[in-house]
Structure 1
């Protein structure tokens, strides 16, 4: 087996260059187009009966002078609208829709009317707090909302070519650049909720304007420096409004001077472990990786790598969920991964994918693509019901509905909600699924990388010519993937295919001929097939999907003596609908034979895992709470379903980790 180093600079492949025709993901993308985007439009217009009110669009109408009233909602309510716009942008590329585009254009015009002459755009402050602009960056989410607007603007410009939203975003970014910086008269501050940093890198890429890169660099470099900016701005507010007023500020009373919550406790290059609010962290890490690549900042890259190892090896759930602590939606400490109180916000898994993608763009290492796959098939889509109209904010790995009434478990919901007052997750998930084409391929001058096995087509410039790839797959259920290669002319180049971390015995054929592992070059989890390619060549991949028993690190005390099941990229769970109540009484014998079966009529068509398990005796005439005898056990046939599909058949118990006997 040959191990090679690949030092060529490589390029992202835009969602615009990829057409998806995948049995699994096409269904989700159609659902985003037909159900999620229209449903979320109704939600942000307050037209979903029984759902938490949003008022997000009405806030813009008031700020634009088209309506009267007070601001309603969270201080970051604006971002619900711009994330909807971003999802629309990606959807319009895959499925042009004149009516939807007109609706988006009208919304963009509304944003333009709400923008202030100096470029400022935030409805909360425009409507009721004009004198408090940029006075509390720790808590007020002004740059966070700006970041989501910028991301939407770049996506809409890339898809439609229309500059209206991009011009609004540039004007806003220029205003922010005039407020923050090292120059005299500017604020030496940085965001309390990171988001604008990664957005500025996208804006820099779209416009080529270096001031956006430099502003991102300023925010990253300034973070965690002494004296702490959040403390300085708090003292300014105290001078202006009085100490008692300051103490009533929500975040001040909750977190006080706990700078770890915002990842501002140390300069970013000195941070060794992930801490604080999980979404803020991974959004910042994404920007750090993008910035490191753009500026060749090796110290920043090394920090990203250290943090990556800490998150994925010590603080990540089996499902790709992160942020175990409900207090602050945060990382807690290494190996603290409880199942029943897990917070694991949907947005956090999505942010983890963003970060993994940025790391993957710096170096082709399958450990990043493996995490993208894990989060895609488990920790993200679990946040949305199979109807596209119900959502989880929190994604636990164990649920006992009766216990959700406890104060320490009230964040855990046994069924998905129609909408949220804090509705960051549903539109975030919509934009991820709609932009899925961005995560499948990448390339450099002589190599194409296949990162995700999703049925799709793309045409790339490789070795000085156009090369078309067509991928046929039925992941995550079937083991085989076929890739048809069509170059313009016969030419030598490389196609590097990822060997998933869950696969022990991959097989590769080219035109029906098996490729011996010793004849392949392997680089960080990718098998590189280098040859002279001809029209009609086909790569056939087989990734055996054995049912795997997985065990947690011994320090993960919540999972001691327990086992979890995974087949291919999919993590499984037991649900009350299949196995009855009291899942905690079930144990899986170590030697039990397990079998996988495809059930086309169950939960949209899934592969289930079945086998013999043991259940402790539940019925007993004895009224005693404790006794000396061990209860008898009976054998029964259990069923496990994909974790992402739980809670689609009514309220009930669920467990990913099961006792092993």
Structure 2
């Protein structure tokens, strides 16, 4: 099967009223802040010592390993984000810092290619003895991804050579051949990273190794049992749940036999990303079918309206169909990022609106919500309802933070947000020799080569506040191809307007994309107007948490009530099913956002003094005004209540 091509970041320039500020924030604030944090120079943040671990491994300092067993991955993701920023534009100071980091990594790498500061410093000699729990191949995968991104940005081979040397060593250890380890990591990541290394180097053995790790997962006799016995039944995390609960790491059955999203959410979507990659590279239709099954289970039964996935704090995992509690939601930021990876890979195989709609939903809501407007505070967990008074008192909510944190002991999410936003250009378009697909409406310039013709595509977008989009096509010489424009699920299809050079076009769609087929000449202009009605969203009848409630959305954004606008006790708010919802752009609020306002009612506490329960009590309501803000913007004005779903009077 043939994959659509992703445009290199060097060929994408984002100039967008909404997104350019986030790209600037990542470049000027987020990445520098995270570098300071990784070097333990931010007083109020939890210590990382991730860079110090590398210095000790390189012999530049003395000391002991500190942090999580996967602490190296924070450094690798920082390098990956830096690589993406450098692909998008020159930054000599960032490149100098990254070069120094590369020098440190080169110095820390063992002669045989192995590189993992936890095992090198804390458990030398125990390498590859606890793959189920200890993330060795996971951290290796992030190192490879960082190396590929930095090599593509600079052309400097030092870090790519580190990655290849490590991958070659891994290939010498793992595989189906006698004498090799026939196992896999408890946390998927190496699989998708090896595909990137294969695409960069052309070395087939990296693709074969990725395929081996995928195919080996879940086989009987079980690898986890074997290594558990060989290491004397010792465990890293204090219990044997990772060994015994195989579905936690999607090892309960071979991947082609899995039909539902189980276990740790991040691991599942990282695995699916690799499955889609390998299916495309090898033509494995069975693997692609497994991807489709898992995708459908996630998005039709196990995904929050915000694009969050993984509903349970325990094990950061999926639970069962339609179990999506709002106030105890986990919805890890990394899981939505992994869902975006998965969606993009499926779009490359079979361009269909359903994948891009979910990619957009997760991006605008959970991923953006995972970072504060200042670029220095982050959410690991993304609930859809928060009652701060209960946090710290009711331990059911121990994982919920009512305000974003400066850093985390397990700090996977902040650098993940940085690397995704730094690489945003890779998610806007895909192309082949005959067509260009527009998946996200993000302003800027894209330089493409179509049938050996150079084409510049200039996009101007008013999303997420308005659905007006304009494209200017500038081929060097006239060339015929199809421009495929996504018709999002959130628009009113009957009201969509599409013109080419001022002339109205009849809209024909294929898989949710409007198709414009013509011989393009320089200066051709396409204007697309996507109506953006305010939508009252309802949950499936089997969603227990949303029965009798409504969520408000507009365009790609989910909205919420926040205490700062509506006062406390948001659970008392009711909307009439017929109430008018008005939209207003407020330039001085939260950096400039559209708010949605309406008349509402609030359940009255009158006549309930010193009484907890009453027989046949009649509810009394008071008039109230309700103001909804975009979900991604909540918790930027101090601590307070928040809710996405609101009770409704029918």
TM-score bucket (shorter structure): over 0.9
Please say if 1:606 is aligned against 2:600: no
Q: How does 1:31-430 map to 2 (within 5 A)?
A: 31-238=25-232, 243=233, 246=234, 249-250=236-237, 252-405=239-392, 406-430=394-418
Structure 1 position 478, deviation (Å): 1.3
Structure 1 position 503, deviation (Å): 0.8
In structure 2, what is the Cα distance between the partners aligned to 1:9 and 1:284? 18
Judge which range, 524-533 or 575-584, deviates more.
524-533
In structure 1, what is the Cα distance between the partners aligned to 2:347 and 2:238? 35
**Structure 2 match to 1:511:** 501
In structure 2, what is the Cα distance between the partners aligned to 1:117 and 1:52? 33
Q: Deviations over 1:339-395 (max 9, x none)?
A: 000000000000000000001110111111111100110011101000000000000
**Structure 2 match to 1:435:** 423
SS at match of 1:591: coil
In structure 1, what is the Cα distance between the partners aligned to 2:243 and 2:445? 52
Structure 1 position 410, deviation (Å): 0.3
* Cα separation, partners in 2 of 1:418 and 1:142, compared to 1, 3 Å: same
SS at match of 2:372: coil
Assess if the C-alpha contact under 8 Å between 1:575 and 1:654 holds in 2.
yes
SS at match of 1:597: strand
Structure 1 position 255, deviation (Å): 3.9
* Cα separation, partners in 2 of 1:549 and 1:251, compared to 1, 3 Å: farther
**Structure 2 match to 1:23:** 17
Judge which range, 94-103 or 618-627, deviates more.
618-627
Assess if the C-alpha contact under 8 Å between 1:16 and 1:437 holds in 2.
no
Assess if the C-alpha contact under 8 Å between 2:480 and 2:518 holds in 1.
yes
**Structure 2 match to 1:656:** 644
Aligned-residue CA RMSD (Å): 1.1
**Structure 2 match to 1:3:** none
Structure 1 position 463, deviation (Å): 3.4
Q: Deviations over 1:279-325 (max 9, x none)?
A: 01100000000000000000000000000000011000000000001
Assess if the C-alpha contact under 8 Å between 2:442 and 2:463 holds in 1.
yes
Unmatched 5+ stretches in structure 2: none
**Structure 2 match to 1:4:** none
SS at match of 1:349: helix
**Structure 2 match to 1:491:** 479
Judge which range, 457-466 or 397-406, deviates more.
457-466
In structure 1, what is the Cα distance between the partners aligned to 2:436 and 2:341? 21
Task: Give the TM-score taking structure 1 as reference length.
Answer: 0.96
**Structure 2 match to 1:458:** 446
Q: Deviations over 1:70-103 (max 9, x none)?
A: 1010000001111001111111222311111111
Structure 1 position 256, deviation (Å): 4.4
Please say if 1:560 is aligned against 2:547: yes
Structure 1 position 492, deviation (Å): 2.3
- Match for 1:475 among 449, 454, 463? 463
In structure 1, what is the Cα distance between the partners aligned to 2:605 and 2:207? 63
**Structure 2 match to 1:616:** 603
Structure 1 position 514, deviation (Å): 1.0
SS at match of 2:591: coil
* Cα separation, partners in 2 of 1:423 and 1:487, compared to 1, 3 Å: same
Task: Give the TM-score taking structure 2 as reference length.
Answer: 0.98
In structure 2, what is the Cα distance between the partners aligned to 1:463 and 1:200? 30
Assess if the C-alpha contact under 8 Å between 2:569 and 2:641 holds in 1.
yes
In structure 2, what is the Cα distance between the partners aligned to 1:450 and 1:374? 16
Q: Deviations over 1:102-123 (max 9, x none)?
A: 1100001101111001100000
Alignment length (residue pairs)? 645
Please say if 1:578 is aligned against 2:572: no
Q: Deviations over 1:557-610 (max 9, x none)?
A: 111110000000000000000000000000110000000100000001000000
SS at match of 2:526: strand
In structure 1, what is the Cα distance between the partners aligned to 2:525 and 2:250? 48
- Match for 2:8 among 5, 8, 14? 14
In structure 2, what is the Cα distance between the partners aligned to 1:249 and 1:489? 62
Assess if the C-alpha contact under 8 Å between 2:3 and 2:348 holds in 1.
no
Structure 1 position 623, deviation (Å): 1.2
- Match for 1:527 among 514, 532, 555? 514
Assess if the C-alpha contact under 8 Å between 2:483 and 2:516 holds in 1.
yes
Assess if the C-alpha contact under 8 Å between 2:369 and 2:379 holds in 1.
yes
In structure 2, what is the Cα distance between the partners aligned to 1:312 and 1:295? 26
- Match for 2:612 among 625, 631, 637? 625
SS at match of 1:138: helix
Structure 1 position 462, deviation (Å): 1.6
In structure 1, what is the Cα distance between the partners aligned to 2:335 and 2:4? 27
Structure 1 position 618, deviation (Å): 3.0
In structure 1, what is the Cα distance between the partners aligned to 2:480 and 2:32? 47
SS at match of 2:550: strand
Unmatched 5+ stretches in structure 1: 1-6
SS at match of 1:486: strand
